[in-house]
Amino acid sequence: MRPRREQVIVRRAVTVGRVPDGTPLELEPGMLGQVTQALGSNFTLLVEGQLVRLKGSDADAIGKPVPVAAPEEDDGDADLEQRIWRTLASCYDPEIPVDIVELGLVYRCELAPQEDGRTRVEIDMTLTAPACGMGELLAEEVADKVLALAEVGEVKVDLVFDPPWDRSRMSEAAQLALGL
């Protein structure tokens, strides 16, 4: 049995990204929709037969509170790289209810010290399909979240397609979650 989707009404005009190509669309007040996914800090909605991605910062447009990520503080046991990976695991593909780390979309995460004492982070990531138009939006989310870590001074996210992604890159947990 499919889980029941939460019905929402658009309360104010808001720009969303059409899934899967990322084309900006304007939702008008009074439009009806369903929340299909509310993971990480964004929402995936079904509105008039179209999947769209609503930024968490615009959650009030559907009567929801803005998702607040728990700040990644130094817990004494985790080094910065571990905290970056945990942060990456808070980013989700808008169509798949599995985070980008478990999906195997992050190929490389390298840290380098900067002169100011903070850290430069370079991330290579891919998409489940090279033609996916959500890539730039997902890369932007990754960069914003990693840059929010106090010790991080600069983030560079590159979308790469070599090697191509395939299901073998998914973790066992991701495969189980998706019934594969």
pLDDT at 12: 96
pLDDT at 30: 96
Question: pLDDT tens, position by position, for the chain (180 residues)?
Answer: 455 788 999 999 999 999 888 889 999 999 999 999 888 888 999 999 999 999 988 999 999 998 876 554 555 557 999 999 999 999 988 888 899 999 999 999 999 999 999 999 999 999 988 888 788 889 989 999 999 999 999 999 999 999 999 999 999 988 888 887
Any domain includes 52 = yes
Token look-up 């890159």 returns 169
Burial grade of 152 (CB within 10 A; 0-12, 13-18, 19 or more): buried
**What pairing do the DSSP bridges indicate for beta strands 14-18 and 24-27?**
antiparallel
Q: Which domain holds residue 56?
A: 6-62
pLDDT at 37: 86
Query: How many independent structural domains does the chain possess?
Result: 2
pLDDT at 76: 54
Is residue 103 domain-shared with residue 38, that is, in the same domain?
no
Tell me the CATH number at 145.
Answer: 3.30.300.130
pLDDT at 3: 59
Any domain includes 88 = yes
Any domain includes 104 = yes
| d(C-alpha 82, C-alpha 9), whole Å | 39
Any domain includes 71 = no
